[in-house]
Structure 1
């Protein structure tokens, strides 16, 4: 029985061209990019070529790209170092109630260090209010951290409006763009974003590598201490093979490719919803149906326990999830759905996240629908 992977929001398979590029680099460029001899210079040239390509994808300067281990490190660096380095200016931070755990837990840590955090609420569609953000801003607010697109329900946040609001304020604006970078056009300077986190394994690149965009206007100390790599902003010998794999994944994200996958994912979503409608299955889309990331579909299947449904689908070699992979293996309910509906809502224990990506076909979606309907009806 063919395995069907519909959990691309958790991680994505590496594209064959990424694997080929990483294999090439591991074989040809083993030198340390910081070494001054020929082997090192060759590796350094590869490193900087990747930095340029990634910077071009965001329309930013190459030196504004800091290579790191991925989204969690990027979020921690942006949030902790902003808070700690600016605490003389104020100790108030703003985020939302539906951020990724890499942001939520970092904010919780800072609260133990004497910082005050405002968690903006969301409505039943998972959206925040710009007016509430405006009301929450204070003179002593030093950072606003709001994700570009939510990893569980897919909602796109009003990033442009937030950026415009903060242009007249001294607070830095950080955005976790891990889920959005692969399918949205993101130009930080135009949007007023000062810090942006991205992870390669969400865009068919390798795990354990990513980058943090840091605008020239932002002054941050290094979260780590050691060598002088990344212009002293992130010490440690760079993972050149991983970075070059990420570069290759980024090269695939052309405007034409983004348009193509958005249309394809919309067709998959329509196929699923039409099948459920035809089978008279009761469901509700969690999130804003008009303003979501194209690859995420979160469904409340009324009366169906999500953990049991996941198990039965897994027995059919079909992978979906209930939410963030960073909370997998726990019994904790989704904090995103709790923020939307309240802690007692049935949707919290009756929702699944379906996420599309490389290799998914209409035929696979058809079999998924047939199995899902069969399981629900039983």
Structure 2
């Protein structure tokens, strides 16, 4: 499909620079398969779900993966993208043309890395020096990797260390938050428990590639960056049992949805999964694992807007986004939410 079909105009003031407080007071647009949209708030969620429905959360934890350093007189910026092994990460590098393989980059707090290899897509493999775990080094020298549409408008600050982390964050490795789950609070979870809504977790370490624009003219020409994920055997078993009993599987966030779909066969059975996925979901895709999606509002011409258009239909999502823009919804990572239900 032509990428320009997924374009729309978003007024700059609709981009949220801070989250709602409390988190579950954010607005939420209910988008059914047909009929009117409903303007709600996230804390209304328990009343929209049925007993035995299952919400699936991503328990990845965002690491302070953005580094500013020097190689000689050259200033070098690095955003870690994907772990390769205990000491090496793939990174998008600003001013990377000033690097040569073997160069040493010095970062604050006595942290340093060797520019080991330049990859065909322009990113670099960085090998961190020393014996301390890389996560410890990043806590000392790194910053939270806010999306460019926020970082370009204000500086990262201490509040972002908690604001840009979900209450489910447990597994270190993401360089972008699974932002749909930023809206959840202990109070909302208690209300969902009281409504007998089930919940499961999986892990998908979100990479910085999620923010890269689609530069191709046609979706068939776009290559997705791989991200590592895991679904435990017991989790897959419980999800399959819930669907067999008539419960709906509602992915909280596109990251959860992408991993669930990667782990599900043509027979509709969710299987254990551990490895990379580069699944790219566009209109025409047949969904096998999920019955709905809770997600924030996404960028024009992004792979995520293509995904929600695949779930609900492009015309339906264009209408939903027009409604959201016209009714002052807040967009992107710190913005408002939507609940997409393609089935009754």
Larger Rg: 1
Q: TM-score, normalised by structure 1?
A: 0.24
Q: TM-score, normalised by structure 2?
A: 0.26
* Bigger fraction of residues in helix: 1
* Bigger fraction of residues in strand: 2
